[in-house]
Amino acid sequence: MRAGLILILTFCIQVGWSQPATINAYEHVIVPMQFNFQDEPNEYQLNILARVLLQEQGFKVFMDTEERPLQFMGNTCEALFLDVEDTSGFLNISVIFRLKDCYGNVLYESEKGQTNIKDFKDGYQDALRRSFSSMSNQNYSYDASLDKGGNSFSSDDVSAASEVKKMAPDKKIYKFGGQTYWLIEKGEGAYTLLFNEGKEIYAELQSADKGSFIFNSEAINGAAFFDAEGNINVEYMDQDLGEVQKIRFKKIN
């Protein structure tokens, strides 16, 4: 009996620890001014409409081009990111939207919103509204006590990282802001951080002193260090705010 009880308790603890974050753990959503399928910012006024629809669900929303509060300048893991996919066919217009965390994990995926309206502007707006109608069943309500689950990754992330490791075993894989980065050791305490599947350089890390590195990128110049889990922690001075900001690239494989 005692052994059975221990097994049950162990199972419950493991399940509790492995629970993914929910959208209720987030108060804010960041909406891009241009989705991947759009030819120009806010085409069909879809992005601003998405902002309004999220606000109607109870979220506080920022466009990715507007100035945001201090807490979102460095630590983008405080917010969710909206992604809209065009799933239209030959005879209809349809979309699906997803809410992702800063590591690209999908916390919510809508049902397909579909319409037979032919006009592109009216059609895409109607399809987006229909996709949001399924979200009402989620009964979203922000709860600050919930864990955002920043240490969890989707199986797709781990699988993709494994494939990259097979192609380039010396690379280390990181996630930040929904993007995947590759870290390459150049020797003599120097590293290069790549993105866009290794096609572009995002930042250079040069050894400084006592485990710290100089972090130089087009957007950020500061100091970096590796923590015990291998994550890259970066600190930099935001000149506009006059405050030190912190970001973290999470090691996933």
Q: How many domains does the chain have?
A: 2
11 assigned to some structural domain: no
Please tell me whether residues 132 and 237 are part of one structural domain.
no
The share of the chain scoring above pLDDT 90, in percent, equals 47
Residue 250, classified by CB atoms within 10 Å of its CB into exposed (0-12), middle (13-18) or buried (19+), is buried
5 assigned to some structural domain: no
Please tell me whether residues 105 and 161 are part of one structural domain.
no
Please tell me whether residues 201 and 116 are part of one structural domain.
no
Q: Domain of 48: which CATH number?
A: 3.40.50
Residue at a domain's end among 108, 138, 168: 138
Q: Which residue has the higher pLDDT, 252 or 74?
A: 252
What confidence score (pLDDT) does residue 246 get? 83
What confidence score (pLDDT) does residue 5 get? 34
215 assigned to some structural domain: yes
Please tell me whether residues 160 and 132 are part of one structural domain.
no
Q: pLDDT at residue 75 above 80? A: no
Q: Which residue has the higher pLDDT, 12 or 226?
A: 226
- Torsion of Cα atoms, 127 then 32 then 102 then 233, to 10°: 170
Q: pLDDT at residue 167 above 80? A: no
pLDDT confidence bin for 20, thresholds 50/70/90? low
36 assigned to some structural domain: yes
Please tell me whether residues 100 and 184 are part of one structural domain.
no
Domain that holds residue 108: 23-138
Please tell me whether residues 92 and 166 are part of one structural domain.
no
49 assigned to some structural domain: yes
Q: pLDDT at residue 241 above 80? A: no
Q: Tens of pLDDT along 180-230?
A: 889 998 887 889 998 877 788 889 999 987 789 999 887 788 899 999 999
Scored b (16 or more CB within 10 A) or e, 98-121 reads: bbbbbbbbebbebebbbbeeeeee
- The dihedrals phi and psi of 53, each to the nearest 5 degrees, come to -65, -35
Please tell me whether residues 41 and 96 are part of one structural domain.
yes
Please tell me whether residues 128 and 208 are part of one structural domain.
no
239 assigned to some structural domain: yes
pLDDT confidence bin for 9, thresholds 50/70/90? very low
Q: Tens of pLDDT along 172-183?
A: 999 887 778 899
Please tell me whether residues 85 and 127 are part of one structural domain.
yes
Please tell me whether residues 110 and 166 are part of one structural domain.
no
The arithmetic mean of pLDDT across residues 133-146, rounded, is 87
